[in-house]
Structure 1
Amino acid sequence: MFAVYAQEPNRDKPLDSLVVGERPEPEVPDGWVKVSVKAASLNMHDIWTLRGVGIKEDQFPMILGCDGAGVLDDGTEVVLHSVVNAAGWQGDDTLDPRRTLLTEKHQGTFADFVVVPSRNVLPKPAGLSFSEAATMGTAWLTAYRMLFVKSGLRPGQTLLVQGSSGGVSTALIQLGRASGFRVWATGRSEEKRALAEELGAHQTFEPGARLPERVDAVFETVGKATWSHSVKSLKPGGIIVVSGATSGGDPGAELQRVFFLQLRVTGSTMGTRDELADLLSYVALTGIRPQIGAELPLAEAAEGFRNMLDGATAGKIVFTR
């Protein structure tokens, strides 16, 4: 079958390991289902896989893609949940110490077909296209959990999104605006700040800019480059919700400010199957739709990877079949 995969880990030149070609069609174990993939979206996690982060070397070659949407053998249209739990696990999907994501142990979605546990498929809302649905399982689910499960914010409060054009950031802006929060965002260029405002941000700022006032929560996916600004932007008692560190994971501690102002820092990783079901219901009820910055045939996946690696994004990058 046609697939886009990582041939081997390459920490310094990840795109050198990217292959567009043929892979064996997957077998379907008991309790799993085969999905004919119609669309799948690119995530930073796919870049990490190419670099060999979070995956053992003997797992290569590995088909990339940790979320998507498609059709079951019986014609049911589905959205994929990317977190694969250990057999018998009970509780929060994301706290399972043996959990894995597609592309870490199991082959991913950038292919004609993918196989996943039967619990990892959910009905696709009729109002969502396959491309829109393909963004839900990673970026939008991450944003949903950060905002509604982890932050503790109430409508009317103010949040700051660090970065304004990536998949999680654009989802946070759209979800926040639709839910009655005052949404501020930072962006490295006028184009990125304009995109954030188009998506619903009430105000946008250059990275590191002094804000008109301190905020109730900051949503972090950038890391080292924005950490000090995030801490300094919070009201006393405020919270930083962290789900990534694309600029590196060694931020300045700012510990004195953290304890003196009783700031809170919490981590957030992906989301549960139930949260994905709630997210799909939410977008169906509100009519909000994800920002898709580029939609490319899977055969042209290399272009999408280059754009992500260069930071040339304006929302989600989606590959279609």
Structure 2
Amino acid sequence: MTTQINRTLSVAPMMDWTDRHCRYLHRLLSKHALLYTEMVTAPAVIHGDRDRLLGFHEAEHPVALQLGGSDPAQLETATRVGCEYGYGEVNLNVGCPSDRVQSGKFGACLMREPDLVADCVQAMREGSTGAEVTVKCRIGVDDQVPADVLPAFLETVSARGVRSFTIHARMAWLEGLSPKENRDIPPLDYELVHQMKAAFPHLEIVLNGGLATLDQAKEHIDRGLDGVMFGRAAYHQPSDILASADRVLFGGDADSSAHEAVLNMLPYIEAHLAQGGRLNQITRHMLGLFAGRPGARQWRRTLSERAHTEGAGPEVVELALSHVQPIAAE
């Protein structure tokens, strides 16, 4: 039986950012947001250190694995392995514009090959033992006309059984723009994503790209989209997005507390250090936790200057926290 996951709010897969430590922190801020791994290539899953690449803390659920690849047989195997690790969703990356994914013939360049994507997701579904297979895509690449290619893409891929698509509402320009520029320069086309929901009401359509506030998110959901995916805003200002998400979007009673999240991170940090880890591997994801609040600069400075030093432990985090006054609700 396929796992049913609530995708009203999710945090995007972000390379070098959404590792297990980041996800553990985000889960302390929101019980319900869906959290994604960094993209992992199918060959890496098959041949690499699986515990390092795929391992996660039970508390992270609901958590989804994003795979990169274009070989159906490899993706089938990688999906099966992901299911063995306990992921509730396995997502195929059809949106990343980096040089590395282009050379490997996966990511955004697959927008040009919907039939191959369809073969890939069919193989992934055959390899799944309970996880739902989903797709994250762009609205098009390079000289494509999004209003033409996106409906055709959704129709072709959904015909193989995929019901949930997260759409980054920008073109990807594979020639002439860096991956960073591709996150900002191509204009957003939210209306096209809304048109896709109207054209394919039976599909779950989640909007990604440029979202900065929960008010924006709620507006798109109220207009009929099934969910929203936050990227950089959720990483750089996690309290602004995730601490209120359960109340604003999931019907919860109250916001979570950033202070409480830090205190609840301390046992996790101690366990990580006991296993030979370093403090800054965790605290680098915590720098924006108090963004915009009094004491935030001292919080960041203390962690930035001290967390990487030899022997640094939870006391560094406690010192940093002492610079930030709890707000009344906390």
> TM bucket by the smaller chain?
under 0.3
TM-score, scaled relative to structure 1: 0.27
Q: Compare the two structures and name the one with the higher helix fraction.
A: 2
TM-score, scaled relative to structure 2: 0.26
